[in-house]
Amino acid sequence: MPRLPRLKPVHREQTYHLYNRIAGEPGIFPLQQRGAREKFLELLTSYASVYFCVLAAFAVMGNHYHALVQFEAFRILTRVELRRLAEELYRGRWFKPYLFWRASEWRRFNHRLFDVSEFMRNVESDYARWHNRAFSRKGQLWADRFKSNLLESARAVQAVALYIELNPQRAHLVRRPEEYRFSSARLRLAGARHAEWLMPLTRLWPCVSQTRALQLHFGCLAHRGGMTIENEDEFLRDIIRQDEADGYAAGSYLENQRYMNDAQAMGDEEQMRRLHEDLVNKGVYRRKRRPLTASVGSLMILRGQRRNFLATDTCRTA
């Protein structure tokens, strides 16, 4: 059965909601084993420092993960830059393939550093090998290929960041998102020294100061998570009123929203209509129905198409 195309507009900045689940019966939580979540985060952040991407939000749960990752637009790197990144990527490994690369292979490596599929292949395959060795396990670890929801607007990126960080609370593991150890919410509120791989809140919520961005972010988390909003002032009340006007009632993210994981793309109406038209014209998207409104909020989503359509994993949009 052919795979659905993964949308990868590599010649412009791209932001993705990435998600995958461990194979196994419901109620089994392999990532809760000792050191498992720490190792997954170590790999995720280590590869983010090599690839041209930055993490905006993450939550590593007992049997799945969510990550919000923004990739830079593709650009041609110098051989010196490529060599440095290849050395970093293969550090600690006995075989150094880049020592034998020809010009075409260096060009391929250049493209690889801006590709979400290559990034997640490194993260997931390295983690699967470590997990099987550490816990004396054999066979496939991941239930399926990872899902990537292309986010086409700042509002979509903000919505997904909030949804990801509320995941531990939705699972009834904590009372507030910042209490969960393996999430970006805890890292932000703890005031920890941010690594280069974690997007500053001022990029997630532009045009405000760091203090206001922190207040805005956790105010929206509290609102959509149905919690008491602390240190509420007129600035935050205006934000919450706008949030409600956009269709996000208090506690609206306490229920699982399938479209967050299953959509092909998400954004504002005009952006999604343009994307839909572009993909239909290129023959890589066969659904005739227009993008749908998300079940919560006012964003639009592009659903996955039926699996009997001819498609490849390497579909790209300009």
Averaged pLDDT, 119-139: 96
Based on the domain organization, do 254 and 127 belong to the same domain? yes
Based on the domain organization, do 62 and 87 belong to the same domain? no
The span from the CA of 267 to the CA of 289, in Å, is: 16
Q: Are 148 and 17 in contact (CB under 8 A)?
A: yes
Of the residues 113, 136, 170, the one at which a domain ends: 113
Q: For residue 180, tell me if it sits in a domain.
A: yes
- Owner of token pair 């292949």: 121
The span from the CA of 113 to the CA of 110, in Å, is: 6
pLDDT at residue 191 is higher than 80: no
Based on the domain organization, do 91 and 70 belong to the same domain? no
Q: For residue 215, tell me if it sits in a domain.
A: yes
pLDDT value of residue 161? 97
Residue 30 structure tokens? 């392999």
DSSP H or E segment with residue 103: helix 103-112
Mean of per-residue pLDDT scores for the chain: 89
This model's pTM is above 0.85: yes
Q: For residue 264, tell me if it sits in a domain.
A: no
Based on the domain organization, do 56 and 91 belong to the same domain? no
Averaged pLDDT, 186-195: 69
Of the residues 230, 259, 288, the one at which a domain ends: 259
| Burial zone of 85 (CB within 10 Å; 0-12 exposed, 13-18 middle, 19+ buried) | buried
The span from the CA of 250 to the CA of 206, in Å, is: 23
pLDDT at residue 228 is higher than 90: no
Based on the domain organization, do 107 and 123 belong to the same domain? no
Based on the domain organization, do 204 and 83 belong to the same domain? no
Q: Are 147 and 19 in contact (CB under 8 A)?
A: yes
pLDDT at residue 39 is higher than 90: yes
- Owner of token pair 């390497």: 314
Domain that residue 100 falls in? 79-113
pLDDT value of residue 315? 47
Averaged pLDDT, 132-150: 94
- Cα 11 from chain centre: 19
pLDDT at residue 307 is higher than 70: no
Query: Which DSSP string do the residues of 121-189 spell out, in sequence order?
Result: HHHHHHHHHHHHHHTT--S--BSSSPEEEEE-SHHHHHHHHHHHHTHHHHTTS-SSGGG-TTBHHHHHH
Domain harbouring 38, CATH code: 3.30.70.1290
Q: What are the start-end ranges of the E strands in 180-314?
A: 265-267, 292-293, 300-302
Q: Please state whether 172 falls in left (phi above 0), alpha (psi between -120 and 50) or beta.
A: left
Q: Are 30 and 22 in contact (CB under 8 A)?
A: yes
The 10s digit of each residue's pLDDT in 153-162 is 999 999 999 9
Based on the domain organization, do 92 and 29 belong to the same domain? no
pLDDT at residue 254 is higher than 90: yes
pLDDT at residue 79 is higher than 70: yes
Based on the domain organization, do 59 and 145 belong to the same domain? yes
Q: For residue 272, tell me if it sits in a domain.
A: no
Q: For residue 305, tell me if it sits in a domain.
A: no
Q: What are the start-end ranges of the E strands in the chain?
A: 14-21, 53-60, 64-71, 147-151, 265-267, 292-293, 300-302
Q: Is 89 helix (H, G, I), strand (E, B) or coil?
A: helix
pLDDT at residue 68 is higher than 50: yes
pLDDT value of residue 317? 46
Q: Are 7 and 276 in contact (CB under 8 A)?
A: no
Query: CB neighbours of 207 closer than 8 A, spacing ≥ 6?
Result: none
pLDDT value of residue 194? 55
pLDDT value of residue 314? 42
Based on the domain organization, do 70 and 85 belong to the same domain? no
Based on the domain organization, do 100 and 213 belong to the same domain? no
Of the residues 259, 288, 303, the one at which a domain ends: 259
Please provide the distance, in angstroms rounded to a whole number, between the alpha carbons at the two ends of the chain: 26
Based on the domain organization, do 90 and 229 belong to the same domain? no
Number of domains forming the structure of the chain? 2
The span from the CA of 159 to the CA of 48, in Å, is: 22
Based on the domain organization, do 38 and 183 belong to the same domain? yes
pLDDT at residue 143 is higher than 90: yes
